[in-house]
């Protein structure tokens, strides 16, 4: 990957950061891509009326939409929204699970010039109302009663306008409403394509929620842009998921680490003849789990990486099956990165871990009505990811979330490293590690363990101690029935720290 010295451009960042000096900037090895001045619906559905095939199919209900039907219903619903009084700049909430008509609602809101706020429907009513207030929602769209219109003139949304609001994970702090422009989302869709080559021969497993950036950008919009068929399906056990992959002849599967672990433990041996590749994202994937899940799927698994504030991803998804499967890939076209010492902005040497800072056309426009949080998210025009990564031979590797790092006697301990080690124990099915306050040491690593055999706390601690440096040792163990996780598979460490 080319590395160059350059000055970071943009607005001044916090005074503590090392600004105004030469920086080491990593750039994508892939050629730049053209980004058309289109809205998301114009871009994603540009060829929909000419495609004579199924766009979306529900694996449970059988509900389906062809590309032509999708385009027609998006236009009709957009006209209905305008007739109902929705104006450019209004925010309309979609609170629903994955199904074919989700795509109609989403693109109709954007085609009407409004902003779509995507909300998790399994939240409590109180939580949903809080997010609506956070995003300044004017109306909520019901997928079973979409408005239809024929005569209203549709506005031409500004590509620089806000297309969607998604909510950043609340696992490490208060939830924030992330503003993503049409321009940023279209740019990111084009950035995906060189490494994630979806076409009309593909069938995608649309099992991850569309209200999450992974399902929204990587599955739904990338799939429709490429002309694939998307099979929507609810969350399920590994056996049901594998059966659906086989039944619908899925070519590209999508995983999060808990599902990958369940597949790794599943006894299925018959091959999924059509499956070409599986992508796992949302959290680090244990290498042992990846290898065993690959054997079960008989298809390669590659790791994806991104964040809501970057419109989906800033790394390429990897169709290159010769690449390092433990890596998250290389930077997307048009994306730049720096790796800095957390809290200082001083660039670290290649191979050393540091916080990833990003610059590119796919970045968010900011947080809704939160100028201070937006200012804190950027330094000198670079987006702070909060992720600790390292670079080796041009490829990027995730170490952990900076906010989740444990501070033991001044040493940095990565929970993800200890969790991967714990899951290698034959009696441990799942594990999570947090830092717990300790008067003498600042924090000590505490493990929450789900067992699948007999093991004592002392044996767990001894197992880890034999494999790591002394400062990384697990010093407390608590046995639990399950590890709390978000819908995208991220460990909800906040709940563990709050005592579940």
pLDDT in tens, 393-435: 888 988 877 777 787 876 678 888 899 899 999 999 999 999 9
Of 452, 91, 408, the residue nearest 418 (C-alpha)? 408
pLDDT given at position 161: 96
Which one is predicted more confidently, 341 or 400? Answer: 341
Say what percent of the chain tops pLDDT 70: 91
Q: State how far the Cα of 166 lies from the Cα of 359, in Å rounded to an integer.
A: 20
Average pLDDT over residues 183-189: 95
The answer, yes or no, to whether residue 21 has pLDDT greater than 60, is no
Give the mean pLDDT of the chain: 87
The answer, yes or no, to whether residue 172 has pLDDT greater than 50, is no
* Beta-bridge mates of residue 118: 94
Q: Read out DSSP for 252-298? A: EEEE-HHHHHHHHT----S--TT--EEEE-SS---HHHHHHHHHHHT
Strand ranges for 78-114 from DSSP E: 91-95
pLDDT given at position 189: 94
Structure token pair of residue 231? 């099979």
pLDDT given at position 478: 95
pLDDT in tens, 161-170: 999 999 985 3
Of 303, 404, 317, 316, the residue nearest 355 (C-alpha)? 404
pLDDT given at position 383: 92
pLDDT in tens, 351-389: 999 999 999 999 999 999 999 989 989 988 899 988 889
pLDDT given at position 170: 37
Least confident of 13-22, 244-253, 416-425: 13-22
pLDDT given at position 498: 77
Which one is predicted more confidently, 317 or 208? Answer: 208
pLDDT given at position 314: 65
Helix axes 67-83, 100-111, angle to 10 degrees: 50
Contacts of 341 (CB under 8 A, 6+ apart): 347, 348, 354, 355
The answer, yes or no, to whether residue 15 has pLDDT greater than 60, is no
Confidence of residue 319 (pLDDT cuts 50, 70, 90): low
Average pLDDT over residues 242-256: 94
Domains with residue ranges and CATH for the chain = 3-30+327-402 (2.30.38.10), 40-235 (3.40.50.12780), 405-497 (3.30.300.30)
- Global pTM value: 0.81
The answer, yes or no, to whether residue 19 has pLDDT greater than 60, is no
Confidence of residue 1 (pLDDT cuts 50, 70, 90): very low
Q: Read out DSSP for 12-63? A: ---TTS--SSEEEEEE-SSPP----S--HHHHHTTTGGG--SEEEEETTT--
Sign (positive or negative) of CA dihedral 276, 281, 285, 287: positive
Q: State how far the Cα of 325 lies from the Cα of 295, in Å rounded to an integer.
A: 14
pLDDT given at position 316: 63
Judge whether 426 and 395 are in contact, CB under 8 Å: no
């Amino acid at each position: 990957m080319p590395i160059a010295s350059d000055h970071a451009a943009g607005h001044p960042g916090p005074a503590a950061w090392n600004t105004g000096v030469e920086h080491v900037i990593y750039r994508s090895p892939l050629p730049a891509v053209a980004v058309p001045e289109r809205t998301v619906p114009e871009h994603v559905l540009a060829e929909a009326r000419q495609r004579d095939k199924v766009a979306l199919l529900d694996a449970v209900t059988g509900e389906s939409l062809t590309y032509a039907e999708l385009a027609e219903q998006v236009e009709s619903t957009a006209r209905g929204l305008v007739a109902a009084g929705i104006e450019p700049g209004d925010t309309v909430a979609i609170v629903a699970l994955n199904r074919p008509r989700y795509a109609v609602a989403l693109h109709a809101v954007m085609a009407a010039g409004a902003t779509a706020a995507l909300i998790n429907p399994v939240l409590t009513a109180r939580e949903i109302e809080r997010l609506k207030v956070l995003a300044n929602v004017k109306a909520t769209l019901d997928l079973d009663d979409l408005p239809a219109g024929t005569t209203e003139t549709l506005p031409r949304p500004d590509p620089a306008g806000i297309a969607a609001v998604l909510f950043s994970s609340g696992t490490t702090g208060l939830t924030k409403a992330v503003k993503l422009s049409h321009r940023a989302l279209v740019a990111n869709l084009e950035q995906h394509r060189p490494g994630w080559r979806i076409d009309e021969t593909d069938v995608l497993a649309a099992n991850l929620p569309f209200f999450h950036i992974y399902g929204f950008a990587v599955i739904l919009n990338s799939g429709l842009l490429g002309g694939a068929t998307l099979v929507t399906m609810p969350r399920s056990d590994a056996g049901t998921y594998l059966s659906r992959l086989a039944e619908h002849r899925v070519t590209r599967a999508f995983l999060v680490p808990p599902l990958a672990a369940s597949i790794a433990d599943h006894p299925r041996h018959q091959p999924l003849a059509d499956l070409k590749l599986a992508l796992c994202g949302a959290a680090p994937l244990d290498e042992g789990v990846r290898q065993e899940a690959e054997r079960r799927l008989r298809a390669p698994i590659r790791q994806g990486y991104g964040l809501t504030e970057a419109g989906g991803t800033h790394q390429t998804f990897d169709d290159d099956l010769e690449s390092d499967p433990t890596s998250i890939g290389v930077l997307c076209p048009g994306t730049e990165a720096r790796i800095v010492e957390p809290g200082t902005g001083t660039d670290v040497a290649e191979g050393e871990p540091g916080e990833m800072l990003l610059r590119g056309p796919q970045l968010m426009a900011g947080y809704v009505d939160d100028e201070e949080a937006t200012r804190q998210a950027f330094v000198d025009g670079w987006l702070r990811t909060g992720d600790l990564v390292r670079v080796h031979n041009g490829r990027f590797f995730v170490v952990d979330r900076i906010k989740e790092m444990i501070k033991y006697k001044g040493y940095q301990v990565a929970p993800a490293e200890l969790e991967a080690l714990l899951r290698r124990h034959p009696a441990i099915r799942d594990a999570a590690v947090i830092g717990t306050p300790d008067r003498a040491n600042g924090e000590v690593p505490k493990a929450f363990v789900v067992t699948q055999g007999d093991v004592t706390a002392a044996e767990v601690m001894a197992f880890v101690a034999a494999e790591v440096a002394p400062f990384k040792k697990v010093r407390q163990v608590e046995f639990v029935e399950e590890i709390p996780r978000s819908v995208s598979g991220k460990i909800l460490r906040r709940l563990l720290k709050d005592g579940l």
